[in-house]
Amino acid sequence: MKITFSRILIASGILLCLNSCREEAFASDKDANTPNIGDANVKNGRLYFPNKESLKAKYEELKSVSDKDIINYVDNKNFESLRPVITEENASQVIETIKERKISLAVNNSLAGKGVAQNPSQIAVEDVLTDLDDLEEIIGDDAYSAMLNGEAEIQVADKIYKYTDVGLFITPATKYNVLVNYLEVNSISGNLLKPTDGEVANDFIESMPSEKLVTINQDIEYFNANRMAPDPEEGGGGGGGGPYYPPTNPPVQEDIAQIVEGLKIGEIRTPKLGNIFGTTWVTDDKYEDRRRVKVKFYSQDLWLVYAIGCKVKHQYKGWTGTWRKENADKLGMGVNSIAWSFTHTYDPPLGGLPGQRYFFEDKVFTTVDQYYNYVNMGPAKMPSLPFEKKIDGVIEWIYNATSLTPEQLRKLFYEQAWKQVKKLGEKHNKKYNRVAFVVDTHTVTYVDYYDFSETKDNQDVLEKVFDWGAVTPQITYTFGGGVGNGVSITKRDFDFKHPTAMGINMYGIAKKNGGWHGVKLIKEKQK
């Protein structure tokens, strides 16, 4: 008996040892496959990251910190950003930095026989301010713009990524001179402060595929996201992209609703350098000569990072002429919709599923008698969306039509769907501020995001970001949330980087010195 027991102990010890070794080996393999996340250093005047994971981690960190923290990070690296973050303390230095770049660029062009070097005194401050605005509009993301150097470059592993006004060029660091020569031969500007000749730029962009990485030669790759061509009827900027349809019983405070309804539709500025990396739409309301409420929407694919953002800034123009952020007594932003649409092959109405479903509180509800009553259908997971963690719920409708106009979608939402959501909120003692409205027709699926956040006190900027970082926002959407009640479930694949069309309807407001100011940014769906 003792011998048998001893054998059992020995066998158990061997098994434990083998299992421990296996776990150590597995942990070792796991560690070997996990990228090493490291901070950047500076190589040849560029931020250098050892891998894309490190870049993404730093990018996400900078997106969440203050302007002064970004400035401190850049200063500690002894690094010059493409578009430095502007504060009251550094405004004059930023102007001098951009001036020096323009002078250096002019001198280099003069030495190359491409013009006469500018006298520093001939560079007007207004020109520098215009350049700063243009740089913001071509690279709409402030954090990423701060990570690029003055030549709009960044290095990840052994590759240099160079942004130009005709697209992104990628080359091994050891072959950088090959890229410089390629740009020179093709008359493409290597600096965003000096645009490429318009005809040359258009010809080059049209000759290249968009939304995919292209191999130009063994040393150079190229990418652009210039998918959405300007609507010729809008004349390059337009007065807001269409009529404004004020919501019925808008879900914001009554006094704010009145202020919003009285706002003008702003004129949308088109970046001088174009929307080569996606879309940036900007408008503003200037008041008191030196103040403005600036409203911006951006959806940009910069290859290394991708994000959609809505931003409202309250700014003051200092004695240097630069616009810097300034606290408003109250600052507000509302998103009446960010709208995506995705075409699909003709389908009859999805059978076996209720025409209206509401995914809130980890349950799915359906409606009876339009929006006046609802039925709890039981537990259900919210359908997958790239921004599902940022919303309170999803409204899903199956609509018997071929397609819908933006006005029809808004009427469905405000006059029917939203009223039901408010009833659900009352039942659960909740106020739902952020919701998605998914409507499927015979040929198109519409996905609209609404954000009815309240105003905030003593703020200089409000921003809502769909920050998908380096991850492509591709999802498979399951209608009914997987609750099929025995019938087949319809799924559709959506890529939010590449929708059939996209539009924005938002506003920004600010209260300062006793008065309200603001503007609407409206752009109907653009293909």
- Could you state, in order of their start, the residue ranges of all structural domains in the chain? 41-223, 334-449+472-502
Instruction: Give the separation between CA 225 and CA 82, rounded to whole angstroms.
Output: 20
- Mean pLDDT score, 188-211: 88
Taking alpha carbons only, the member of 423, 483, 418, 468 closest to residue 448 is 418
Instruction: Give the separation between CA 49 and CA 173, rounded to whole angstroms.
Output: 13
Question: Any residues with CB less than 8 A from the CB of 119 and at least 6 apart, and which?
Answer: none
Percent of the chain with pLDDT over 90: 23
**pLDDT in the model for residue 526:** 58
In the predicted model, is pLDDT for residue 9 greater than 50?
Answer: no
Tokens of 166: 């005709």
Instruction: Give the separation between CA 311 and CA 456, rounded to whole angstroms.
Output: 14
Tokens of 462: 């409000």
Split at pLDDT 50, 70, 90, the class of 114 is low
Q: Would you report the helix, strand and coil content of the chain in percent, each value rounded to 5?
A: 30, 30, 35
What is the per-residue burial (b if ≥16 Cβ within 10 Å, else e) of 259-269? Answer: bbeebebbbbb
312-335 pLDDT, tens digit per residue, is 999 998 877 778 889 999 999 988
468-479 pLDDT, tens digit per residue, is 554 456 667 767
Q: What is the secondary structure of 427-462 as a DSSP string? A: HTT----EEEEEEE-SSEEEEEEEE-PPPEEEESEE
In the predicted model, is pLDDT for residue 344 greater than 80?
Answer: yes
**pLDDT in the model for residue 238:** 38
Split at pLDDT 50, 70, 90, the class of 15 is very low
Q: Are 463 and 311 in contact (CB under 8 A)?
A: yes
Question: Any residues with CB less than 8 A from the CB of 348 and at least 6 apart, and which?
Answer: 442
Amino acid at 401: A
430-489 pLDDT, tens digit per residue, is 888 889 999 988 888 899 888 887 789 999 988 887 655 544 566 677 676 555 443 444
Split at pLDDT 50, 70, 90, the class of 66 is confident
Check residue 355 and report its DSSP letter. S
